[in-house]
Amino acid sequence: MPAPPEPRLDGEERALFARGVEQFNAGLFFECHDTLEEMWSGLRGPARDFFQGLIQVSVAFYHLEAGNGPGALSMLSRALKRFAAYPDVYFGFDLAAHRAELEDRRARIEAGEPPGAPPRWSFAEH
């Protein structure tokens, strides 16, 4: 199956996306969710699931902060399922590395271990 084409975001969508990445990296997971959801709600097409996966990752780490391991596991699993349709690098994200980080967090949570620090999001602007 061919990889979904990369999205073409307008200026406002790019600004929201960049803000969401900054919020995630600052540990503002609830705010990241809100920002990315604002951008995502207007998107159509095959890239929509990629951004929804990022929203689910932010919700997962919000749940972890609140001590809700089952909620975090659910969100991580849903995000990983969404990311499976995308290539190892998509929209400037190193999805291969991100998936590996998320799988590691999921395994730690399932084993009852501390999940570790949240990953950082980085992407190559295009």
The DSSP symbol for 124 reads: -
Domain 11-110: CATH architecture, name and number where available: Orthogonal Bundle (1.10)
Alpha-carbon gap, residue 91 to 39, rounded angstroms:
15
Is 101 within 8 Å of 119 (Cβ atoms)?
Answer: yes
User: Can you tell me which residue has the tokens 């999940």?
Assistant: 115
Is 115 within 8 Å of 83 (Cβ atoms)?
Answer: no
Enumerate the domain spans of the chain.
Answer: 11-110
pLDDT tens for the 126 residues of the chain, in order: 677 888 889 999 999 999 999 999 999 999 999 999 999 998 998 889 999 999 999 999 999 999 999 999 999 999 999 999 999 999 888 999 999 999 999 999 999 988 888 888 887 765
